[in-house]
Amino acid sequence: MTRSQFARLAVEAFLPLLRSDKISRMELKVLFSEDPAFVLRRADEFLSSEPVLHNLILSILHSRVTQGDPGRYWIASHREKTVGVVAQSPIEYPATLTPMGPRAVLALVDAIAEAGVTLPGVNGEAATAASFAGQWSERCKSAAVPFQGTRLYELLELGEVPRTEGQLRQAGPRDRSLMILWTRAFQDEIGESSNVAFECTDLWNSAADFKTQTGANLGFTLARESEGTSRLQVYFEPAVDPNSRVLFLRYVHDHLTQQAQNVLRLRHYWCVNKKCKRFNHAFADQDIIDEALAPEGKAEVFCPKCGRPIKLRDTIEEKFDSPGMKEQARELDAEAQVVIDNESRELMAVHHAGFIVSEAGQIYRGYTNSDHGIDGEIEFKDDQGRASGMRLYVQLKSGDSYLKKRQRDGAEVFHIKNPRWADYWQQQSYAVMLVIRTSDGEIRWMDVSAYLKRESVGGRTVKQIVFAGERFDVMSVRRWRNSLLIRKSS
């Protein structure tokens, strides 16, 4: 969801509050409970009335009843009839909302804010989430930005399921990377890029800069202190939200403990009394901090200037050690590993192609920017060993997911995920070769520009290619070389 869409939904959701309707704010009651079974009993009629729209909250409630995980739950009712439910479990996660009217939203926002609960965010149907975020921003004087847009799908009719080789098995921890890969492939097919929590913007010898999904900057610097010892210092812009701060800290900490030895995490604490001369000055006595953080300690120290207490186990520390935050960091690490694995596969394809072309005595040039659908070119040499100007363009793909077997005839099909590429490939002066390297090391190629020109006769839009590639080896490179040089001389 874009910022403009979010703003429009928030305004549209607020408009009914300016008009009279049948439910006045005074008639709405909000019940709070930490018992998911109570919520299921009390709001059963409401939740069961729209099982698709309430699917997520129903799943959360039933799961918490079974597993006993902690949570917070609010029920808005009008004349003993439930009109909205909010669930927050785990309690450090964003709250989940059912679709509800604007007055129910307002009543719930007031009840949650008056209880002193801090919400890191909300999930829900777009209009309800925008309304809730707008009311929360007004009530708590805090900014709200759209973070992630998702869809809920309903299967209306079950069609015939094609027979597939193999059998079902339960997924386990080792399948995490595969699940992420499948999710990303699905996002690619529906035209939505996957959401990455932190995007690297700059990488230096001793520093790295990142951006959050909302565009706020964060990162770290590395300074060498002595032989075998370095200090990594994390920084955040003020606009980085607390959840992103803790997640980034947790991820960096876990990665360092896995890859390095004797990792020690240090925090700086300072007096927050603006009238104190030590305001925003770090509390320097680490021995006193360690003593206060010991099991028998009081988890606080006192400013040496004004005497105000300085809390050591604050919200950041509580979230840092929470199971939910550790799980998010593990998921982030798994996503990063998938990216690394994909990049490694692409590099293998590049090196493999370059090696074959070199063995054939020709010239391979890789492109640094392949956004247009061409990763490199092969230029052929003439009989005197000079560059002839005759060439092929190549689009490299590495992995087993690019070719799908068609049920009716067993043909291998490559889906063109970017429609611009099909047009661009046809416009080139030289043939564009689709090169696919599979996990078993086999590498094949095919002239896709010629295929597209044939299949698009009459203005037809081509969205897939029946891949009939030949083996990409020294002999096939030389056959292409001979064909193009003969064509040039004639």
Pair (380, 422) in one structural domain: yes
Instruction: Tell whether 349 and 470 lie within a shared domain.
Output: yes
Would 281 be classed as within a structural domain? yes
Identify the CA nearest to 269 among candidates 304, 321, 217.
304
**How confident is residue 181, by pLDDT bands cut at 50, 70 and 90?**
low
Please tell me which residue, 282 or 221, carries the higher pLDDT value.
221
In a domain, residue 73? The reply is yes
Count of CA atoms in the C-beta half-sphere (13 A) of 421:
21
190 in any annotated domain: no
* Shared domain check, 211 and 126: no
Best mean pLDDT range from 135-149, 321-335, 392-406: 392-406
Asked if 381 and 314 sit in the same domain, the reply is no
362 and 260 in one domain? Answer: no
Comparing CA positions, the residue from 158, 157, 110, 161 lying closest to residue 132 is 110
CA-CA distance, 44 to 58, in Å (whole number)? 9
Domain termination residue (choose one: 122, 140, 158): 140
Give yes or no: residues 361 and 308 share one domain. Answer: no
**Model confidence pLDDT, tens digit, residues 17-67:** 434 344 444 578 999 999 999 999 999 999 999 988 898 899 999 999 999
User: For residue 57, what are its two tokens?
Assistant: 């909250």
- Any domain includes 174: no
Question: Regarding predicted confidence, which is higher, 430 or 298?
Answer: 430
pLDDT tens-digit profile of 402-440? Answer: 899 888 888 999 998 888 888 899 999 999 999 999 877
**What's the rounded Cα separation, in Å, for the pair 123 and 159?**
31
Distance CA 249, CA 329 (A): 9
Same domain, 260 and 349: no
Instruction: Indicate whether 479 and 382 sit together in one domain.
Output: yes
* Calculated CA dihedral for residues 206, 207, 208, 209, nearest 10 degrees: -160
Q: Which of 181-195, 260-274, 391-405 is least confident?
A: 181-195
Looking at the fold, whether 227 and 295 belong to one and the same domain comes out as: yes
CB-facing half-sphere around the CA of 192: CA atoms within 13 A: 13
Q: Which two tokens stand for residue 352?
A: 């493999």
What's 48's domain CATH number? 3.40.630
- State which residues form the domain around 482: 345-489
pTM of the model: 0.43
What band does 339 get if pLDDT is binned at 50, 70 and 90? Answer: low
Q: Indicate the number of domains in the chain.
A: 3
In a domain, 168, yes or no: no
315 and 373 part of one domain: no
pLDDT higher than threshold 60 for residue 356: yes
The pLDDT assigned to 471 comes to 93
Residue 351 has pLDDT above 60, yes or no: yes
CB 305 within 8 A of CB 323: no
- pLDDT interval class at 198 (50, 70, 90): confident
Task: Please give the angle made by the CA atoms of 400, 403 and 408, to the nearest 5 degrees.
Answer: 130
Confidence band for 196, pLDDT divided at 50, 70 and 90: low
Whether residues 480 and 366 share a domain: the answer is yes
Stretch 314-343: mean pLDDT: 75
CB contact at 8 A, 106 and 132: no
pLDDT of residue 338: 65
d(CA 425, CA 373): 8
Q: Which of 130-139, 162-171, 297-306, 380-389 has the lowest mean pLDDT?
A: 162-171
Residue 84 is predicted with a pLDDT of 95
Residues 410 and 373 in one domain: yes
Top-confidence residue, 312 or 404 = 404
Q: Looking at the predicted structure, is the pLDDT value of residue 328 above 90? A: no
Instruction: Please indicate, yes or no, if residue 336 is contained in any of the structural domains.
Output: no
pLDDT for position 487: 86
* Domain closes at, from 108, 140, 172: 140
> How high does pLDDT run on average in the chain?
83
**Does residue 307 surpass a pLDDT of 90?**
no
Residue with tokens 């929360």: 136
d(CA 148, CA 134): 16
Domain final residue pick, 114, 140, 166: 140
Token representation of residue 230: 């370095």
When pLDDT is cut at 50, 70 and 90, the band that residue 193 belongs to is low
The pLDDT score that the predictor gives to residue 188 is: 64
Q: Which residues of 445-457 are buried (b: 16+ CB within 10 A; e: fewer)?
A: bbbbbebbeebee
Give percent above pLDDT 90 in the chain: 31
Q: Tell whether 97 is covered by a domain.
A: yes
The pLDDT tens digits of the residues spanning 246-287 come to 889 998 898 888 878 888 888 778 887 888 888 877 787 888
pLDDT at 283: 82
107-111, 196-200, 268-272: least confidently modelled range: 196-200
